[in-house]
């Protein structure tokens, strides 16, 4: 995943090239999917035909992405797993058969791209990605793009590969990472990335008398003024909301009482905190009830408990309590709950007797 902003004095590493290659691939295949579905089904291509193709497994995920970013076009919310399913689903696969006649190969390559996105781009590793791995990961992307007739996208990715090789051979003459262009906000420190000022400008046009602006409206106003910033938002794991939460020193993200009913987050400048922060609901009795209903002797998996707590406390967000993960919040009540960590970072919650 490309970093939020890279100074021009720094070079890209291979993970940056991979993130850029994936965006090129997504741009081409998102366009392909919409063009063919729209040509076949007209206005019914979305949501009707997309929902049929994705089924109960993937449709809720896509719908959530679309609702979270209303300023995007529908296809801009497709990730590789959505594209894969649409291209192989019974009701839509024939629309792409002229490009991809061998279904098994198509499915395998699309699955490979989805895995690369989930394991190497959305959740980058701590160790450096090698040039050989970069070539291996973009290989299926190039094959699929060639079959789809996207020669310009193929050329873009091949140019990225060339730049990566040059960067390794000549570290002092490495490729420069692009900056997000545009002016910064008034009064903004020049050392801050320009998007900080852009958000401030967008917030000024959407906020209420208490300084709060609905996050989706702020995002829409920002992208209307700076459409190129969309790529940076797409790189963040949780979209625009994730960018705001990276800077708690500047932005306060929370859910006022009305937003709790709506289930929509709001943002304001930290400097605009003129009233005490709303008292957050007590989550402990809810979690006690959820854990007490468990029949698993080793405890309940935290990742499965969290959705149940959210259902019982509308708008619940553990980050509002000052913790980066749900288990971290649970650990603050060690008098009531015991956390047990098992393989691959899984945390299980049991009630202390």
Question: Phi and psi dihedrals of 158, rounded to 5?
Answer: -65, -35
The answer on 335 and 220 residing in a single domain is no
The answer on 289 and 267 residing in a single domain is no
The rounded Cα 260 to chain-centroid distance in angstroms is 22
Alpha helices for the chain (secondary structure H): 14-41, 48-68, 80-88, 103-116, 131-148, 151-169, 194-204, 215-225, 230-235, 239-245, 257-262, 284-292, 302-312, 326-331
215 contacts 267 by C-beta, under 8 angstroms: yes
Alpha-carbon distances of 92 from 63, 173, 297, rounded to whole Å: 19, 47, 45
The answer on 223 and 132 residing in a single domain is no
Range of the domain at 94: 14-173
Q: Is residue 102 part of a domain?
A: yes
Residues 329, 331, 333, CA angle at the centre, nearest 5°?
Answer: 95
The answer on 298 and 157 residing in a single domain is no
Alpha-carbon distance 278 to 319, whole Å?
14
The answer on 198 and 167 residing in a single domain is no
- In this prediction, residue 262 carries a pLDDT of 53
Domain C-terminal end among 110, 141, 173: 173
Q: Is residue 189 part of a domain?
A: no
314 contacts 281 by C-beta, under 8 angstroms: no
The answer on 20 and 160 residing in a single domain is yes
The answer on 19 and 139 residing in a single domain is yes
134 contacts 17 by C-beta, under 8 angstroms: yes
Q: Is residue 278 part of a domain?
A: no
Q: Is 213 exposed, middle or buried (0-12, 13-18, 19+ CB in 10 A)?
A: buried
- In this prediction, residue 294 carries a pLDDT of 62
Q: What is the residue-wise DSSP string for 142-185?
A: HHHHHHHT-HHHHHHHHHHHHHHHHHHH-GGGPPBPPPPPSPPP
- In this prediction, residue 171 carries a pLDDT of 47
**Structural domains of the chain, count:** 3
Q: What is the pLDDT of residues 191-229, one digit of tens each?
A: 456 777 788 888 877 777 667 788 888 888 888 888 878
What spatial distance separates the first Cα and last Cα of the chain, rounded to whole Å?
44
Q: Is residue 127 part of a domain?
A: yes
| Summary mean pLDDT of the chain | 78
Question: Phi and psi dihedrals of 301, rounded to 5?
Answer: -65, 125
The answer on 85 and 60 residing in a single domain is yes
Length of the chain: 353
Q: What is the pLDDT of residues 314-347, one digit of tens each?
A: 778 777 777 767 887 888 888 888 888 765 557 8
The residue ranges of the chain whose pLDDT is under 70 are 1-12, 169-193, 209-210, 236-238, 255-263, 271-279, 294-297, 324, 342-345
Alpha-carbon distance 112 to 310, whole Å?
33
- In this prediction, residue 321 carries a pLDDT of 75
Alpha-carbon distances of 226 from 44, 117, 197, rounded to whole Å: 31, 26, 12
236 contacts 254 by C-beta, under 8 angstroms: no
Alpha-carbon distance 50 to 43, whole Å?
11
The answer on 129 and 87 residing in a single domain is yes
CATH number at residue 299: 3.30.420.610
H-helix or E-strand spanning residue 338:
strand 337-342
Q: Is residue 186 part of a domain?
A: no
| CA neighbor of 184 nearest in space, from 130, 225, 129, 124 | 225
Q: Is residue 187 part of a domain?
A: no
The answer on 32 and 134 residing in a single domain is yes
Measured from the Cβ of residue 291, the count of other Cβ atoms closer than 10 Å reads 20
């Amino acid at each position: 995943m490309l970093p939020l902003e890279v100074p021009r004095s720094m070079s890209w590493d291979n993970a940056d090239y991979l993130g850029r290659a994936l965006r090129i691939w997504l741009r081409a295949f998102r366009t392909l999917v919409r063009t063919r579905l729209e040509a076949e089904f007209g206005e019914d291509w979305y949501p009707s035909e997309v929902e049929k193709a994705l089924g109960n497994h993937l449709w809720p995920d896509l719908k959530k992405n679309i609702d979270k970013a209303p300023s995007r076009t529908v296809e801009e919310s497709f990730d590789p797993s959505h594209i894969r399913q649409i291209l192989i689903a019974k009701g839509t696969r024939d629309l792409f058969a002229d490009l991809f006649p061998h279904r098994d190969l198509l499915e395998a390559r699309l699955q490979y791209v989805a895995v690369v996105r989930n394991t190497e781009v959305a959740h980058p590793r701590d160790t450096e990605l090698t040039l050989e791995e970069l070539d291996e990961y973009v290989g299926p992307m190039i094959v699929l793009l060639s079959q789809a007739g996207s020669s310009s996208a193929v050329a873009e990715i091949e140019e990225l590969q060339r730049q990566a090789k040059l960067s390794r051979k000549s570290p002092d003459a490495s490729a420069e990472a692009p900056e997000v262009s545009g002016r910064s906000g008034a009064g903004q420190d020049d050392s801050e990335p320009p998007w900080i000022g852009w958000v401030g400008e967008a917030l000024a046009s959407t906020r209420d008398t208490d300084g709060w602006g609905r996050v989706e409206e702020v995002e829409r106003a920002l992208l209307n003024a700076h459409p190129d910033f969309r790529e940076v938002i797409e790189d963040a794991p949780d979209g625009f909301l994730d960018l705001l939460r990276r800077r708690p020193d500047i932005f306060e993200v929370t859910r006022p009482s009305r937003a709790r009913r709506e289930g929509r987050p709001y943002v304001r400048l930290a400097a605009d905190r003129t009233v005490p922060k709303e008292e957050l609901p007590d989550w402990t009795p809810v979690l006690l009830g959820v854990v007490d209903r468990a029949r698993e002797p080793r405890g309940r998996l935290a990742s499965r408990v969290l959705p149940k707590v959210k259902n019982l406390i509308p708008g619940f967000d553990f980050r509002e309590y000052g913790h980066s993960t749900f288990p971290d919040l649970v650990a603050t009540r060690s008098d009531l709950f015991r956390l047990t960590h098992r393989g691959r970072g899984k945390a299980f919650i049991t009630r202390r007797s």
